[in-house]
Amino acid sequence: MKKNASSSSFGPGGLDLTSAFFKPILKSDPPIPSNRCTKISVVGVGNVGMAIGQTILTQDLADEIALVDANPDKLRGEMLDLQQHAAAFLPRTRFTASVDYDITAGSDLCIVTAGARQNPGESRLNLLQRNVAIFRHIIPPLAKLSPNSILLIVSNPVDVLTYVAWKLSGFPVNRVLGSGTNLDSSRFRFLIADHLDVNAQDVQAFIVGEHGDSSVALWSSISVGGIPLLSFLEKQQIAYEKQNLEDIHQTVVGSAYEVIKLKGYTSWAIGYSVANLARTILRDQRKIHPVTVLARGFYGVEGGDVFLSLPALLGRNGVVAVTNVHMTDEEAEKLQKSAKTILEMQSQLGL
């Protein structure tokens, strides 16, 4: 995306605000040249993988979609169902499907959803050991066949597995990210919008930290229609209970568990969430999303290379920068505690 000469300055002095709003990603590589044809590979054609693939297809985000899975019959069935039988109703997109990773060669974006399914009531972090072994067979061939691609991890526990993907791929840190709390934040915005009877698109709100039980709701930075929520309530002397705020956050945390309990898995919302990320990245839209990134050095997170969700500026080169969003001391402490929770799990991996 080309910037106008005045796009980052305000006033007669030409004050550059870009460096104030965003912190750059260190050791990132140069921008990736855009190709005329866009190719997306999806590894794992379970409920989540196919929801993502179907949403990407209907939103016409790729010229070619490659599907990879260990089950050849499932692969062929999904490809026939989407490409051949529904071709008359969909954008003209080339489909390939195989158990062989060779079909992913030259991908612009590789989306990984493969992994052991989360059981009802099972914490995302409990999935870790089962999924790390799977990633050892997935990430190296993806990195070898598409050395300029961006890796987008969706498999849970997404924060630790994004770290695993970064280590196994050898990619620069800006080209490895996870879906993180992008969906959690969407749920958060919906609940706030529902309370206020407004459109969720008019609510700016973030869930950060772990995609899971230790996530952090950034109440201090929420705005509705450009109006800071909590400061507005205080100025208007409108009383609110902190417990009510915490209850909303806990509803967000438990949302996925409730869906899994009712239908056995989550699919459609994460499909739209990941397709939204794919659009931002491949079309260089420079939008801010709460996604899993290397968090060391941001908001007081130290102690190691920990990946967790922060509001990040995304573009064609992956993670462009991390947003300097306002946090209270309490919120920053909770974020740092969330980082320690993830680091404890990472320390057992030996990577």
Q: Buried b vs exposed e over 83-117: b needs ≥16 C-beta within 10 Å?
A: beeeeeeeeebebbbbeebebbbbbbbbbbbbbbe
Give 49's contacts (C-beta < 8 A, 6+ positions apart).
42, 43, 67, 69, 111, 113, 114
Can you spell out the DSSP letters for 133-161? Answer: HHHHHHHHHHHHH-TT-EEEE-SSSHHHH
The residue behind tokens 């260190």 is: 26
Active-site residue, 249 included: no
The DSSP bridge partners found for residue 209 are 309
Closest-CA residue to 275 (of 264, 263, 283): 283
Closest-CA residue to 335 (of 295, 294, 289, 290): 295
Q: Which of 85, 137, 211, 326 is catalytic?
A: 211
In single-letter form, the type of residue at position 5 comes to: A
Terminus-to-terminus CA distance in the chain, angstroms? 36
Residues classed as catalytic: 211
